[in-house]
Amino acid sequence: MSIPTAPKPAKLVIGVYTKEKDLVKSLADIFSREYGDIDLVSQWIPFDFTTYYEHEMGSPLYRRVFSFKRLIEQEALSDIKVFTNSIEQTFMDNGKRQVNIDPGYMLYARFVLATGKDFSHRIYIGKGIYADLTLIFQKGSFKTLPWTYPDYADSAMQTFLYKVRDKYAFDLKMGRTDLAETKPRG
């Protein structure tokens, strides 16, 4: 018999890609107000893995990724994705997104993203949102899966995610488990 236990808190990670780099400062301010201080920020990473978003957002696209000092409850991911979707709508111009925001979380063993798109490997987590198991951590490194997005399989992204995972492990070791408020708005 399995005994239910409370899940560990997770490290919130939010990826942003856009053509308009100037928007990212405003987005970082919104994220900080909502989830607390940012502790790690990636360098600008060219987002040249697909042309899927170019018709809507233009090109070239660039990605920046943020992680936060305060941890989150894993079940908050659907609320966070709903909130980041509303931010995307706020920054629309003539019906087109200027930014795409991908929230997710880091644990010791995995990196999970939130999405509104259902697929065979995604698990429904509420509010029209699914959890996408994007990377697993085994034998000291991230392992991609057949459905891992190419940008998350890229070495530049994974180099940053290793730093996030190390910071997460350090925070837990030091007993830093204060949680960000992630209650739904309304």
Residue 77, Cβ neighbours under 10 Å: how many? 25
Residue 58, Cβ neighbours under 10 Å: how many? 13
HEC states along 67-111? EECCEECHHHHHHHHHHHHHHHHHCCECCECCEEEEEEEECCCEE
Q: What are the residue ranges of helices labelled H in the chain? A: 23-35, 54-57, 77-90, 150-153, 155-173
pTM: 0.93
pLDDT at position 182 is 62
Domain boundaries, the chain: 11-173
Q: Could you report the per-residue pLDDT of 60-100, keeping only the tens digit for each?
A: 999 999 999 999 999 999 999 999 999 999 999 999 999 99
pLDDT at position 158 is 96
